[in-house]
A = this chain, B = another copy of it.
Amino acid sequence: MTTSLSSAEKPPAIQDYFRRKVALVEEWLDRLLPSSEAVPSEIHKAMRYSVFAGGKRLRPIMAIATGEIFGSQEHELLPPACALEMIHTYSLIHDDLPSMDNDTLRRGRPTCHVVFGEAMAILAGDALLTQAFRTLADHGSADQAIRVRVISEVAQSAGTIGALIGGQVLDIQSEGKAIDEAQLEQIHCAKTGALIRCAVRMGAIIGRASERELAQLTEYGQKAGLAFQVADDLLDATASSAELGKTAGKDVAEQKATYTALYGIDGARARAAELCHDAIEAAKRSGRETAVLEEMARFIVERRS
C-alpha cells in the first residue's frame, strides 16, 4: 500500500494504534515526572504544564513502533521513549523564550514563560533535560551496556554537532540571511531530524537490531525527520494559527529559512512526498514488518497541525 490516504481516510487500525500509544506515553510521562506537589512545586507544575500540553508524541511513538518490530516490551521501551518527549519539550520551552524565538502561543496555550515567568521556564527546561537522563539511567533495557549506548545516542542527538542545539544555533544565525538548499537541509537535519532519527535508532538498539537493520532504519528516521520539517514549513505557510495552535506565518515574518521560501509551496510539497517515499523504501529494505513505520511517514507529511 503506497497510495497516500488523507487523515480522514486512514484505516481505523492505525488511528487506533496512535490513540493507544499516545495514552500509554502520557500515562508513563505522568509516572516518570516529579509530582506537582513535590517541593519546589512551582517548577514541577511548569514542567508538567508544557509536557501535558497535548503534543503529537511523535518521537516516543516512533521509538516504540521501532522497538516493537523487534519484540521489545513496554517497560523497556516506554521510559526511554518518554525521555525523548521530555527533551523535545525542553527544547520547545527554551526556543519559545523572549531571547530566542519569543513565541507566546504553543499548542493553543500560552507558552511556559508567559505563564510561569522567564526564570522558571528556563529552569523547567533544564529540569526536563536532566529528568530525561535520569529516566534513561533508571529504566529501559535490562542490559546495562544497551542502556549506556542509548544514553550516548540521545546525548549526541540533543547536542551541538549535527544535532538539536546546534540546529537551533544555526537557525538563529540564519535569520534574515539568504541560504541555499544544502545549508537549509543542514539546519533542519540538526534541529528536527536528529531527535526523530534518534527515536528510531533507540527503538532498534533496544530491540537488538542487527547493524544492517539499524542502518536501514536510521535512513528511514533521517528521511522521515527531514520530511517532518518540510511539512512543518508548509503548515507555517498554509495553515492558520487556530489550526496550528501556534503563531502561523512567523517564518515569513521573521525571514526564516524555510523549504517554502526556497522551493515555493508546490516544490516543498513535492520534496515532502519524495522524502516520505524514500523513508518508506528504506524501512521496507529492512525486511521486517514495518507497516506502522510506513504509516507514520505518511502521517508526518499529511498532518494538519
Contacts and interface: CB of A to CB of B under 8 A. Distances in A.
Interface of A: 34, 38-40, 42-44, 47, 90, 94, 97, 99-100, 117-120, 122-123, 125-127, 129-131, 133-134, 136-138, 144-145, 147-149, 151-152, 154-156, 158-161, 165-166, 168-170, 172-173
Q: What does DSSP make chain A's interface, helix, strand, loop or mixed?
A: helix
B165 A43 contact: yes
A40 B148 CA distance: 27
A169 B121 CA distance: 11
Contact of A137 (B34, B47, B152, B169): B152
**3 shortest A-B CB distances, which residue pairs?**
A134-B155, A99-B118, A137-B152
B129 A160 contact: no
Nearest to A146: B144
A99 B119 contact: yes
Nearest to A41: B169
A131 B159 contact: yes
Most buried by B among A38, A42, A43, A131: A43
B126 A155 contact: no
Contacts of A40: 160, 166, 169-170, 173
Nearest to A90: B126
Nearest to A147: B148
24 contacts: A38-B160, A39-B170, A40-B160, A40-B170, A43-B160, A43-B165, A43-B166, A47-B160, A94-B122, A94-B126, A100-B119, A123-B168, A125-B126, A126-B126, A126-B165, A130-B160, A131-B159, A133-B133, A133-B151, A134-B151, A134-B155, A134-B156, A144-B144, A148-B151
B129 A130 contact: yes
A298 B42 CA distance: 37
A126 B132 CA distance: 13
